[in-house]
Amino acid sequence: MQGLKLSILFTLSSLFGLARTAPQVPCYFIFGDSLVDNGNNNNIASLARANYPPYGIDFPDGASGRFSNGLTTVDVISKLLGFNDYIPPCASVNGDELLAGCNFASAAAGIRDETGQQLGARISFGGQLRNYQTAVQQLVDILGDEESAANHLSKCIFSVGMGSNDYLNNYFMPTIYATSRQYNPQQYADALITQYSQQIRILYNYGARKVALIGVGQVGCSPNELAQFSQNGVTCVDRINNAIQIFNQKLMSLVDQFNTLPGAHFTYINAYGIFADILKNPAANGLRVTNRGCCGVGRNNGQVTCLPFQTPCSNRHEYMFWDAFHPTEAANIIIGKRSYSAQSSSDAYPVDIRRLALA
């Protein structure tokens, strides 16, 4: 056990060591949901917040708003890209700080505006894009003209990870949302991709050229879904994962479409496949517990997320999940590293983030 702890500490120190050189790109802009939110929901009227202990128990600044015990995947990626600091939440960025990018992600957000509404306020992907358009205007003001801003943005990495909540907090929540009665899984994926495509086109029209589209992970294997729908609390929920795979296949096709645009370098990160690979052989990744949260309430610690000041498990480095929905820092390090530098040819299509930075 001590060896595994040292291994994780060594990995983290390696990430920080990389940050001593100049970043591989001048800026990194992040869009997404609670998997990567790092504080944008802290001061809004939402149940989807993580700015209280035990969240952040292993993070230097404590409970920052990250839905994990420590680092998120984008924190890992930002260090691998060579940034000295983690990319800050856009809600707290001022002036020239914006030149290095910021994180627009908001917990409970979806592609569809209504997604996650039962949790209160959140910034949907449409809202995140409006915030980004405002930020682009600020960059024009900082850099002096539109051409300079466009040139700067063309060198940035953009990561976009949406869709999890459109299944978790919409389609598979039939008591609140009607979408599962309006669409079969194929039709729903089509509707999501059509809207997502229009939204991503806005991102392109406002200067994004190096874009990593993060696929939806194995939501049907999360402690929350296992607690509700898995008879033995271990076997993943196929009907959820099958629906997500339909969406991910269409997202890969979207990458091909966007790569026909002038100057575009889009790529797909196979979070679903990376996740499946870890679950297939957790011990090879230093993990032991894959079906329950390190903290939480009820079956699989998956029926309620971490309660304020709840004492979490002590062997967090052995857990895949921190709470009912979100990975631990240990899992995020694995996923972030494979997103940046593909371990398998199926981890990214057509290139990983390391090669996207060089494009």
Q: Rounded CA gap, 89 and 294, in Å?
A: 26
Name the phi and psi angles at 154, rounded to 5.
-65, -20
Distances (CA, A) of 84 to 66, 277, 358, 359: 19, 30, 19, 22
326 annotated active-site: yes
Given the residues 46, 265, 326, 352, select the one marked as catalytic. 326
Please report which helix (H) or strand (E) contains residue 293, including its range. Answer: strand 289-293
Q: Is 45 exposed, middle or buried (0-12, 13-18, 19+ CB in 10 A)?
A: exposed
323 annotated active-site: yes
Given the residues 37, 323, 347, 352, select the one marked as catalytic. 323
SS3 content of the chain, % helix, strand, coil (to 5): 45, 10, 45
Given the residues 34, 64, 164, 230, select the one marked as catalytic. 34
Q: Rounded CA gap, 106 and 54, in Å?
A: 20
Closest CA to 136 of 156, 109, 121: 156
195, two tokens: 């809207």
Active site residues: 34, 323, 326
